Amino acid sequence: MMEPTPRSRAARQPGPAVEPEERLREYLRSRNLRMTPERRWVLQGVLSRDGHFDAEELLQFLHRRHMPVSRATLYRTLDHLTSSGLVKRHRFGQGHALFEHVYGRHHHDHLVCDRCAAVIEFINEDIERLQDEVCSKHGFLSTNHVMQIFGICARCQDAEAKHADAPARGS
């Protein structure tokens, strides 16, 4: 069995201990952009969120906290946060984009319910090892991957089973 390549394994670990604001500031500086109060507010809002969120939820969250960020600034800043490696953008099925901050978090994959759209995060080292082996076999250096498994969550399976067991109306 092949050992994972050091670089592919390292790509899944949290980044160096650079604080998120400094990381964004460096990213912006490299593109001749500046850190504005609005960009800082978006970063703070993103880092305060647990799990997945959409842009509209984040915009409402910021406005409730009296952080007046325009929709256009929010979307541009989310693009910058994604490009800087602080945020991941996901498309789970046909739905709109969801985001999650990845600062200080380990890589994980997702189970997505086709019925209720629940997103369940999981980490499986065997899957990670197999992906490393496939990359190594093909001389491929992995920089990132996304695994999404679609199906029906336990809660929806239970609800469907109860519905199937219920007597039909008018019987």
Q: Which residues contact 48 (CB under 8 A, 6 or more apart)?
A: 61
The answer to whether position 28 is within a domain reads yes
Backbone dihedral angles phi then psi of residue 141, each to the nearest 5 degrees: -100, 110
Flag whether 147 is in a domain: yes
Beta-carbon-side half-sphere exposure of residue 106 (alpha carbons within 13 Å) = 8
Instruction: Give the tens place of pLDDT for each residue, 142-157.
Output: 887 888 889 999 999 9
At CB < 8 A and 24+ separation, what contacts does 62-70 make?
A: 67/38, 67/41, 68/38, 69/38, 69/41, 69/42, 70/38
Rounded Cα–Cα distance for residues 142 and 144 (Å): 6
Q: Is residue 165 part of a domain?
A: no
| Domain-located, residue 42 | yes
* Of 121, 112, 142, 119, nearest in space to 130 by CA: 142
Instruction: Please check whether residue 169 lies inside any domain of the structure.
Output: no
Q: Is residue 171 part of a domain?
A: no
Q: What is the pLDDT of residues 112-127, one digit of tens each?
A: 899 998 888 898 999 9
Of the pLDDT bands very low, low, confident and very high (cuts 50, 70, 90), residue 3 is: very low
Look at residue 163 and tell me if it is in a domain.
Answer: no
In the chain, the number of structural domains is: 1
Quote the domain boundaries for residue 130.
Answer: 6-154
pLDDT category, 15, cuts 50, 70, 90? very low
Angle between helix 20-30 and helix 71-83 axes, rounded to 10 deg = 90
CATH number of the domain that residue 52 is part of = 1.10.10.10
Q: Does the model's pTM come out above 0.75?
A: no
Residue 150 maps to a domain = yes
